[in-house]
Amino acid sequence: MDKVNIIGLGKSGIAAAKLLQKHNHSVTIYDSSRSSELEQVKQDLSSEGIKVKLGQNPPLAGEDKAELLVVSPGVPWDISLLTEARKQGIETIGEMELAWRYLNTSPWIAITGTNGKTTTTALIEAMLKAGGINVCACGNIGYAASQLALSVTENSLPEWIVAEVSSYQIESSEQLSPHIGIWTTFTPDHLARHKTIENYHAIKASLLDRSRFKILNGDDPYLQNLGKDLNWKNVHWTTVKGKEYLLGNLEKGVYIQDSWIVAFKELIAPISLFKMIGEHNIQNLLMAVGAARLAGVSKNAIVETISSFTVVPHRLELITNINGINYINDSKATNYDAAEVGLNSVSSPTILIAGGDAKNGNDTAWLNKIKEKCLSVLLIGDAAPIFAQRLEDIDYQQYEIVEEMEKAVIRGKELAEQNKAKAILLSPACASFDQYRSFEHRGDHFREICLNLS
């Protein structure tokens, strides 16, 4: 029975441990943190026969040294512990790679990119389901891939697996080879972890390189530029601008022409059937249509999905309307580009709630969009003083530091009603970890406050 050590006592780490235990491996989870919450998780897992060691890292020598290290996505790939483990020849993989090893007899559709991943993943899953295909979604959408691997048997393997894959998961999954790989957008993000944009690009590109078929958003400036030098085979481009703007062959393109969706030269449906707002969502839709057609989904099933699909939680999700004011949850906008898209997609004037755990990146376009569309900006979390200074730098003074979500929503309601704003938009441009466990936790709190107001 092989010995395996897992780093990280989160959802992914626990799922990986249970999967390995199911396959008769001796498993220990290590987490460098300690808390009462983690102690409870440790106790629960020990009753299932899984060892947990808190406040320490896995040893690289001695009797507790393992043949395999499995790393949760939140653990940086270049920390000294992992670098040394690889030097010693200890096999080191991510939780996604582990799941792939147990699920690779099913074809995968893997979606990566800076923004747009979750909506594209959800659309593809919905189209395959509408087509009567046994499909499971997993990955960065909240359902760990190892959880999926744990739940299936040889007799219940899904016909297709749709996975939202972050750069963190790609860099620790060198063998993951999707049948269809999708690259939604590319802008600087996660640079605190990946150091340079070149490294970030190389990680994303490696997944597409291993994909049999590739779908790229031809409206993204970076990917457009990349396309001029691409020597990949089986590349399918998308565009909302018409076939004359399509990169590559029409036979492999998905685009909007005369207000119709066209995929591989076949008319699919009028775009008016699609209810989600924003040009970015039309871009996501085109990539999903391309993937669905490559996966063998019928035109009728795709049209049915286009007509009925409405919203992905935490991405421009309309929570309620009070006195003509829309309350919109865009908690998944965790960087400047996503937050700019959020502002672009709502009616103005808008009251914006922004802030959280600040990320590196270019905020220029986002700040310009604030000046154009926002009546006021209410700042929360650790980034509040940083954002306040950036707003001062562009001579925008209609902001308030309110610190907490509840205060922001209540103050937003006052300002919106006084000044006839059309929307209160939570679009933070930040990670959530200063005040919340995740962007979902943050969005759920916003939803709860808004519904209590109404």
Question: What are the helix and strand counts (H, E) for the chain?
Answer: 17, 20
Question: Domain 97-308 sits in which CATH superfamily?
Answer: Mur-like, catalytic domain (3.40.1190.10)
- Residue-level pLDDT at 437: 86
- Residue-level pLDDT at 413: 96
- Residue-level pLDDT at 189: 54
- Residue-level pLDDT at 326: 93
Q: How far apart are CA 223 and CA 235, in angstroms?
A: 12
| Residue 201 token pair | 């690009």
Percent of the chain having pLDDT more than 70? 97
Q: In what order do the strands lie in the sheet with 235-239?
A: 135-139, 160-164, 108-112, 180-183, 213-217, 235-239, 254-257, 260-263, 266-270
* Mean pLDDT of all residues in 225-245: 88
List the chain domain ranges. 3-89, 97-308, 317-453
Best CA proximity match to 351, nearest among 334, 328, 332: 328
Q: How far apart are CA 250 and CA 237, in angstroms?
A: 9
Best CA proximity match to 16, nearest among 88, 101, 135: 101
The pLDDT tens digits for 189-209 are: 555 555 577 888 888 899 999
- Residue-level pLDDT at 324: 92
The gap from C-alpha 201 to its chain's centroid, in whole angstroms, comes to 16
- Residue-level pLDDT at 78: 82
* Mean pLDDT of all residues in 142-157: 86
Q: How far apart are CA 340 and CA 322, in angstroms?
A: 24
The pLDDT tens digits for 406-443 are: 999 999 999 999 999 999 999 999 999 899 988 999 99
Cβ atoms < 10 Å from Cβ of 418? 9
Given a cut of 80, whether residue 227 has pLDDT beyond it is no
* Residue 371 confidence class, pLDDT cut points 50, 70, 90: very high
CB 163 within 8 A of CB 139: yes
* Residue 22 confidence class, pLDDT cut points 50, 70, 90: very high
The pLDDT tens digits for 376-391 are: 999 999 999 999 999 9
Given a cut of 80, whether residue 188 has pLDDT beyond it is no
Contacts 24+ apart (CB under 8 A), 232-236: 232/208, 236/290, 236/294
Q: How far apart are CA 442 and CA 251, in angstroms?
A: 43
Which amino acid makes up residue 433?
F
Which amino acid makes up residue 101?
R
The answer to whether the bond into 270 is cis (omega within 30° of 0) is no
**Which residue is listed with tokens 């070149």?**
198
Sign of CA dihedral 372, 374, 379, 382: negative
Question: Domain 317-453 sits in which CATH superfamily?
Answer: Mur ligase, C-terminal domain (3.90.190.20)
Name the phi and psi angles at 279, rounded to 5. -60, -35
CB 283 within 8 A of CB 240: yes
**Which residue is listed with tokens 């939604």?**
184
The pLDDT tens digits for 278-327 are: 788 999 999 999 999 999 999 999 999 999 998 778 988 889 999 999 99
How far, CA to CA in Å, does 207 sit from each of 148, 203, 233?
Answer: 20, 7, 14
The pLDDT tens digits for 90-146 are: 999 999 999 999 999 999 999 999 888 989 999 999 999 999 999 999 987 768 899
- CATH fold for the domain made of 3-89: Rossmann fold (3.40.50)
